[in-house]
A and B are shown apart, each in its own frame.
Chain A
Amino acid sequence: MKECVIRRTAAKEPFMAKLEDSMIVCRCEEITKGEIRQAVYDGMMTMNEVKRYLRTGMGLCQGQSCSRKVRDIIAEEMSVPRETIEISSARNPIRPVPMSIYANDKACKRR
C-alpha cells in the first residue's frame, strides 16, 4: 500500500479526458467516471477519500451498486491491483433509517 502511494504521488501524469468520462458510476449521487478519475488526480487514493470528496456511495443505496466500480477506477488510474485500494469503512446503520425512528426511539429517550 505504502509503495503504491509513493509511486502515485511521485509520478503524476497530466489528466487526460476519456470517452467514457461522462458515464454515471454512482447511480444515487450521479457521480461520473470522469469525476472519480479527476478525484484520483486531485490526490484522493482510497475509497473513503473519494467518498468524502465526491459523495460516491453516500446516497440511498449506500454504495451497494458502485463500490466495486469505484474501486476499479481508482486502481486503474493508479495502475495498481484493485486489492490494494482500501475500501470504504462500514458504518451503522447499514440500511437507510428515517430520522423519525431515532427521534421516537425508546432507548434514546431513556437516556
Chain B
Amino acid sequence: MYRIENHPILHQFDKGQRVSFLLDGKEMEGFAGEPIAIALRNSGVLVHRYTAKRAEPRGIFCAIGRCNDCVMIVDGTPNVRTCVTPLQAGMNVETQYGIQSRGAAENND
C-alpha cells in the first residue's frame, strides 16, 4: 500500500519475484531481493525491535545500514540490519527484544 506504482521521473521500479516470508510466525509478502525492511514497511510494520533497557520500539532510521536501529532476528541470527539485507523466500523474521526473540526474552524473566 506504500508502493510507488508510477513515478514521474523513475517510472517503474525493477522488483524481483513476489515471495512470502514469516514475521513472528505470521505470513507476509514482499519482493525477493528488496531489503526486508522495505517489505515490512509496505505491510505497515514499523516496529522492528524493542530496546534492551527501556523496551522502546525502534524501526527504520537511516535505511542505509549505518544506524543499526532496524535490526531484527533473521533465521535465528539477531542484530541483522533489515534495511540492507535482501529478502528471500521463506525467511523467518522475528521482532527483536533486546537481543533476543520474544520467547527467549520471556524465558529470562
Contact = CB atoms under 8 A, between A and B. Distances in A.
| A contacts B: CB pair < 8 Å | yes
A24 B79 CA distance: 20
B60 interface: no
Interface size class of chain B, counting residues whose CB lies under 8 Å from the partner chain:
10 to 19
Determine the main DSSP class of B at the interface with A.
Answer: loop
Contacts of B54: 24, 30
B52 A61 contact: no
A64 B51 contact: no
A30 B61 CA distance: 15
Contacts, number: 27
Contacts of A28: 68-69
A60 B53 contact: no
B68 A59 contact: yes
Given A30-B53, A30-B54, A60 B71 contact: yes
A96 B81 CA distance: 11
Contacts of A60: 68, 71, 79
Nearest to A31: B53
Contacts of A27: 58, 61, 67, 69
Interface of B: 51-54, 56, 58, 61, 66-69, 71, 79
Interface of A: 24, 27-28, 30, 59-61, 64-65, 96
